[in-house]
Structures are given as structure tokens and as C-alpha cells.
Structure 1
Amino acid sequence: MKFLFDASKPYELRASYQVQAQDIDLWQHVNNKVYLSWMEQLAWQHSLAVGIDIQVQQTLGKMMVVIQHELNYLAAAKQNELLELTTWLDPNEKRLGCCKRKRYYRILRAQDQHEIFNGHTLWACMDIKTQKACRLPQAFISAYFETP
């Protein structure tokens, strides 16, 4: 996966990906579980791009955990197709309550720009020691919404 990060829009990460043989199921299209894997990869790469790595999370004593996924399969992707994947946090929706954040995903087929998938993940901030939900640290918010 080739990741494209534009520092002027830190709330968004784009990637291009050519569908591989290992992504394909018995019906000759991308297996549903692969989309979830792509969502995870995009989310993690986005966090790294804005400077929120494991060390930062450990130092702050906070981490983000998934509490809900929504996946909408709109069309099939086939082997060797080039896809454009995007993830973002809505700059107008910095958080939901004190401890939650929603991350969005969209996948387009590059050839015709047809949307083949969209979804979102609801994340909650958790205290690493207590394993309980807690307020999002300002560092987790500002990293995505302030340009360098």
C-alpha cells in the first residue's frame, strides 16, 4: 500500500493499492475481511503520519480502542484493480463526547472513480493502566487538526 499524506490536511490520509491474489476469495473478488484489514492499516498509518505512535501512547498512558465498525460493501473489487483508499476524521466532529472519535473510510476503483466501499469506526480512548474509558488527551485531538 502506498500512503499519501498531505500535511495541510492532517485529518485525511490517502493510499493507493493494487488488489493482490491473497486478497481474493472463492468468488474471485476481494474477501470481506480484507476490507477490515485495510481499515486497520489506514488508521494506524494515519496515526503514525501525525506523530501518534506506540511510544506517544505509552508516555500519555492512553490508547484508542475500537468499539464499533460499520462496513458498507457497494461493489466488488477484483484482482489487479487499482484502488484509492481514504481515511479521515471529520474536522467539524473532533470528538463524540469526551472519550470517543469516529474515523471514516472510502474506497474508490481508480479506473472509473466508482465508490466500492465506505464505512466508519467508532474509537474510544482507554487508560492503559486501568483499562477504562477516559477523556481524549489534547495531543490525540490536535495532531489531526492542526497543520505543522
Structure 2
Amino acid sequence: MSWDLATPFVIDLRVGAEDIDGLGHANNAVYVTWLERCAWRHSQRLGLDLAEYRRLDRAMAVVRHEIDYLASAYEDDELQLATWIIDWDQRLKMTRHFQLVRPRDGITLLRARTTFVCIELSTGKPKRMPQEFLEGYGQALLEKQA
């Protein structure tokens, strides 16, 4: 696979009938759901699941999505969605890059960038990342640079 960056975290997806809109291809809103799923699975692999977020009273909340829809996905397409943490300030903000590829023809269907801010769950207000976030998400940056 020709990924934009080295050492991606990748999930496999299959376009279901429920993902198809009136134009006969995967609806744009479905792609956002896939981005969220991929980010969560990557966070979970880094040891930062919902239970840990609740224990720490912290979460990474989306503040911005930038999505370039490059080609359409159709029912029964097998896809791979990759993500990388590409930037963070080690305080509040973190940015992920995503690339969605259809392996059968190697076409990149989507590229996206999502910016997250660390919040305190109990108040919803921005709050500095705890040490566990620095260690977990920092591990992903080290893997990207390897």
C-alpha cells in the first residue's frame, strides 16, 4: 500500500448498503464516522480508551475536521483507513492525518486532518493533557518517526 507517511495505524472497512446515499455512493457523513472509529481504535491501542478518559476526567475532543473527498466508495468496497498523529503541543492540541485507500485499485479516496483539544470531561473546558496522554499519544509520534 502506498501510504502518505510511514508506520500507519490501519483499520479495515467494508462499505455496507446502509452507507450508500441517493447518488449511489458512500455518503460523506459516513466518512466522518469512519474517521472517528479509526481514531478511537488507535487511541485504544495506545492504552487510552473511554474508561481511561473517564478515570482521568480528560478527553480529546474534535474542534476541526478538514476533509478532501478525492473519489467515491461504493457498496461492498473493501477499504483501509490509516491514521497518524502528526502534531501536538504536549499541552492542549493534537492533530491527526487520515488516508482512506481502496486496496483493489490503490486509489486514495480521502485525505483528512482532524484537530483535537484536550478537555476536562466534568466541565467540558480545555484542560492540559495528563501525563498518561503525553505517554500514550507520544508513543504514536515516536512510532511515526521510526
TM-score normalised according to structure 2 size: 0.84
How far apart are residue 97 of structure 1 and its match?
6.5
Q: State, as a whole percentage, how many aligned pairs show the same letter.
A: 33
In the TM superposition, what are the counterparts of 1:78-89 in structure 2 within 5 Å?
78-89=74-85
- In the alignment, what sits opposite 1:6? none
RMSD (Å), alpha carbons: 1.7
Change over 3 Å in CA distance of 1:130–1:81 after alignment to 2 = closer
- In the alignment, what sits opposite 2:31? 35
Measure, in 2, the Cα distance between the counterparts of 1:53 and 1:109.
28
Alignment deviations for residues 94-130 of structure 1 (CA, whole Å, 9 cap, x no partner): x137200001111011111111101011100011233
Is the helix fraction higher in 1 or 2?
2
Q: Does 1:130 align with 2:130?
A: no
How far apart are residue 88 of structure 1 and its match?
1.4
- Unaligned 5+ residue runs, structure 1? 1-8
In the TM superposition, what are the counterparts of 1:1-148 in structure 2 within 5 Å?
12-90=8-86, 93=87, 95-96=88-89, 98-146=91-139
> How many pairs were matched up?
134
Counterpart AA for 1:114: I
Equivalent pair of 1:96/1:102 in contact (CA under 8 Å) = no
Partner of 1:88: helix, strand, or coil? strand
- Unaligned 5+ residue runs, structure 2? 1-6
Counterpart AA for 1:141: L
How far apart are residue 30 of structure 1 and its match?
0.6
Measure, in 2, the Cα distance between the counterparts of 1:117 and 1:130.
34
